[in-house]
């Protein structure tokens, strides 16, 4: 009986266990079917979880578009920078002979701190922070260059590593800064992602073209993150930003920047404004102002581009357009006479800049002497102020030019009162911007056709090489005829040779232009008085017969020397920029004559020497009475400057580049033009200071030249004694209108 009870218990136990296992089995099967059908566990999609865990994504960085000058030289570009990182985690060192962490914090701080300009004790504290596996050095260790990275690597300090990053870089520093502007990294506070955004100038206005979009690569990996064999990749290519090509010429812009720097140092004016334009197309070749800034450090004092955002009473440069209007209307008679000194209009007295005048003179003399009275009478009695207003519109002086730069402002034409209408004729009462004067001057220099100014040449997609935007020269109007412009240019040439513009007469080049000395409105009413409290300017074109360049320079409130008249700071900028730019553009000076009117210098046409041996090329060059300068250690010529077909004067240099290691020549006594020729051939960057000829160079003669090297040269003029003269200095015009009896 007992045995039977035991068996029954065993059977019942086995049955219970079978039922339990059956329930578990069916539960698991139901769970499996559920998971198989829904793909979810506790509301979590398993496929998504697996995707997240075993699918890796790596960013493929895109580049922001590069801003180039007209010749393809980068002005703003993305470049690599590095952050210094110190590894403190000892566990990362597997081989004691090859340590991967900072072994000696004291030695590391002693050697590294001078290179990062950091206090040694402060660095030591960072390197000995407890429970830290990795540290950085704040701003001292960020944004370091490749050159500095290589210096640090040469120290072979254990545990010192680098993190590569990308930043916006402006290789020329203070260079057309208000035109180019700047872009900077911005971090999204929500996503913590960073992107480069334009904040000023072209960088801001063309941000939608310049901005990049990173790509990425997805792949299947094991749990350690390694890519699985034969795993499929999903690649989304990066979308690089479009490249912007400006009309700015790096060489001409450098001429302008350097001249402005020299003038700022010597005269400390409140403002300098400079523009160089091609009158045939409206292209802006150079544009700058002071105070300026370096976009790499953003030391900005003035966020406005004064060339387009600073309207002011221009002074006597406005007389160019009043004169052109009078000639076009047939009311100007240069041989007619008038009484200079003073003129009454609207119950107020307009005076000439020397207050006494010059007695009875012709209107042509009035132009040369910059007589306010002459132009007041032309506007009020001959042309008529209503017709003058019409021509202000024809010359575009009553509205913005529409230049492709953000921030251009509206000027003010005051024509309510008679005195204001008459005063506008000689540059007071009404305001204009420098860019409006440039646009109006293109009509005078371009046979009557006025060209709209622009700075963006084209925008190109670097991925497809497709031109996205292509700007072409645009005629903005034809205010006067070609015949009128010839007469105006002839008179403006006489202003330079025999009038108020004598200081702007360049040897070998016929400059035509007009001086200006504008009074500055006082915040308390009226105008500022006192030495130097004027805005001095010059608007010049050259060569007169067929102007290739227009240069406008204005200098506000310079600190003049006791012997200065006022135009000296403007001369310092204009003459340097105009002459060097004409030479750079291979615009030959007029032939020099002897006393017997015999040609001294006859142009020589340069032949091609590419592919020839050094000896053969030198022999040919010597026969043409030219000088050969060889760059490099090779035996055959691969490039030359000037190129075949260019014409130069006897004794000028022909630079020959050979097929092996380019070496820097001794440039002592060279002109900046020849220095630039070497730069063009070897792709080096050149900066210079001073005027005249090279007396010092930063790279030693014979040094091997590499792409991207920077050469600095110092220029000085040859010493020559001052010639004695009894001629009194020409007094520049200080436009003045007064109440009668005051």
Cα–Cα distance for residue pair 511/495, rounded to 1 Å:
9
Please say whether the beta carbons of 201 and 178 come within 8 A: yes
**Cis-peptide, bond into residue 543, ω within 30° of zero:** yes
Give the C-alpha separation, 456 to 462, whole Å: 16
Exposure string of 297-329, with b = 16+ CB inside 10 Å and e = fewer, is eeebeeeebbbbbbbbbbbbbbbbbbbbbbbbb
Q: What are the backbone angles phi and psi of residue 64, rounded to the nearest 5°?
A: -65, 145
Q: Are 349 and 739 in contact (CB under 8 A)?
A: yes
Q: Which residues contact 674 (CB under 8 A, 6 or more apart)?
A: 629, 653, 655, 667
Q: Which secondary structure element, helix H or strand E, spans residue 148, and what is its range?
A: helix 146-154
Cβ contacts of 678 within 8 Å, gap of 6 or more: 631, 641, 655, 664, 665, 667, 684
Q: How much of the chain is in helix, strand and coil states, percent to nearest 5?
A: 30, 25, 40
SS (H, E, C) 663-717: ECCCCCCCEHHHHHHHHHHHCCEEEEEECCEEEEECCCCCCECCCCCEEEEEEEC
Q: Tell me which residue of 292, 304, 268, 293 sits closest to 556, measured CA to CA.
A: 268
Which residues neighbour 74 within 8 Å (Cβ) at sequence distance 6 or greater? 66, 67, 68, 171
Measured in whole angstroms, the distance separating CA 303 from the mean position of its chain's CA atoms is: 15
Q: Yes or no: say if 231 and 224 are a contact pair by the CB < 8 Å rule.
A: no
Catalytic residue among 316, 430, 431, 641: 316
Burial (0-12, 13-18, 19+ Cβ within 10 Å), 556: buried
Q: Within its chain, how far is the Cα of 434 from the centroid?
A: 18
Nearest CA among 391, 381, 299, 392 for reference residue 336: 381
Distance (Å, whole) CA 550 – CA 434: 12
Q: Is 371 a residue of the active site?
A: no
Residue 738 is given by DSSP the state E
Q: Which residues are catalytic?
A: 316
């Amino acid at each position: 009986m007992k045995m039977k009870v035991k068996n029954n218990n065993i059977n019942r136990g086995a049955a219970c266990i079978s039922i339990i296992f059956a329930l578990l089995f069916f539960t698991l099967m139901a769970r499996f079917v559920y998971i198989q059908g829904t793909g979810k566990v506790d509301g979590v999609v398993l496929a998504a979880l697996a995707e997240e865990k075993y699918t890796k994504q790596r960013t493929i960085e895109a580049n922001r578009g590069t801003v180039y000058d007209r010749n393809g030289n980068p002005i703003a570009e993305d470049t690599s920078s590095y952050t210094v990182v110190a590894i403190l985690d000892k566990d990362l060192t597997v081989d004691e002979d090859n340590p991967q962490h900072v072994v000696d914090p004291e030695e590391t701080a002693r050697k590294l701190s001078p290179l990062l300009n950091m206090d040694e004790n402060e660095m030591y504290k960072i390197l000995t922070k407890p429970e830290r596996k990795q540290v950085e050095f704040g701003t001292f260790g960020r944004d370091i260059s490749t050159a500095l990275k290589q210096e640090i690597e040469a120290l072979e300090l254990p545990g010192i590593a680098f993190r590569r990053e990308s930043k916006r870089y402006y290789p020329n520093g203070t260079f057309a800064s208000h035109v180019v502007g700047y872009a900077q990294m911005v971090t999204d506070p929500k996503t913590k992602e960073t992107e480069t955004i334009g904040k000023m100038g072209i960088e801001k206005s063309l941000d939608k073209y310049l901005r990049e979009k990173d790509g990425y690569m997805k792949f299947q990996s094991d749990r350690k993150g390694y890519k699985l064999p034969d795993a499929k990749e999903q690649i989304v290519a990066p979308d690089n930003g479009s490249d912007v090509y400006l009309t700015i010429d790096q060489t001409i812009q450098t001429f302008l920047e350097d001249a402005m720097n020299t003038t700022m140092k010597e005269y400390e004016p409140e403002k300098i404004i400079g523009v160089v334009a091609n009158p045939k197309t409206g292209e802006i070749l150079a544009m700058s102002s002071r105070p300026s800034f370096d976009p790499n450090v953003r030391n900005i004092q003035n966020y406005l581009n004064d060339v387009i955002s600073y309207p002011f009473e221009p002074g006597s440069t406005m007389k160019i357009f009043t004169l052109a209007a009078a000639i076009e209307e047939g009311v100007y008679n240069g041989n007619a006479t008038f009484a200079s000194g003073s003129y009454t209009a609207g119950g107020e007295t307009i005076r000439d800049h020397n207050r006494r005048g010059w007695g009875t003179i012709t209107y042509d003399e009035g132009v040369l002497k910059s007589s306010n009275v002459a132009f007041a009478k032309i506007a009020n009695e001959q042309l008529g102020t209503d017709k003058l207003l019409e021509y202000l519109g024809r010359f575009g002086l009553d509205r913005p030019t529409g230049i492709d730069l953000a921030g251009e402002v509206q000027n003010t034409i005051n024509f309510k009162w008679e005195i204001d209408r008459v005063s506008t004729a000689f540059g007071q009462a009404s305001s204009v911007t420098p860019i409006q004067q440039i646009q109006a001057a293109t009509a005078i220099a371009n046979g009557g056709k006025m060209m709209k100014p622009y700075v963006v040449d084209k925008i190109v997609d670097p991925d497809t090489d497709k031109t996205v935007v292509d700007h072409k020269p645009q005629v903005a109007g034809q205010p006067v005829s070609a015949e009128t412009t010839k007469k105006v240019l002839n008179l403006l040439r006489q202003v330079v040779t025999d009038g108020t513009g004598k200081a702007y007469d360049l040897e070998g080049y016929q400059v035509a232009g007009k001086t200006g000395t504008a009074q500055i409105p006082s915040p308390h009413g009226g105008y500022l008085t006192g030495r130097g409290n004027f805005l001095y300017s010059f608007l010049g074109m050259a060569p007169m017969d067929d102007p290739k360049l227009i240069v406008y320079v204005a200098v506000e409130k310079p600190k003049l020397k006791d012997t200065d008249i006022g135009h000296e700071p403007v001369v310092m900028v204009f003459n340097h920029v105009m002459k060097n730019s004409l030479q750079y553009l291979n615009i030959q000076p007029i032939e020099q004559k002897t006393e017997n009117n015999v040609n001294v210098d006859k142009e020589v046409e340069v032949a091609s020497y590419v592919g020839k041996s050094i000896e053969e090329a030198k022999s040919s060059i010597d026969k043409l009475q030219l000088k050969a300068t060889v760059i490099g250690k090779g035996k055959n010529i691969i490039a030359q400057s000037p190129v075949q077909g260019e014409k130069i004067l006897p004794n000028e240099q022909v630079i020959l580049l050979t097929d092996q290691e380019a070496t820097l020549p001794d440039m002592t006594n060279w002109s900046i033009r020849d220095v630039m020729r070497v730069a063009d051939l070897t792709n080096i960057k050149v900066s210079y200071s001073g005027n005249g000829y090279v007396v010092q160079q930063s790279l030693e003669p014979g040094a091997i030249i590499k792409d991207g090297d920077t050469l600095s040269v110092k220029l000085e003029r040859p010493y020559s004694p001052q010639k004695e003269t009894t001629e009194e200095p020409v007094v520049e015009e200080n436009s003045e209108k007064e109440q009668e009896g005051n």
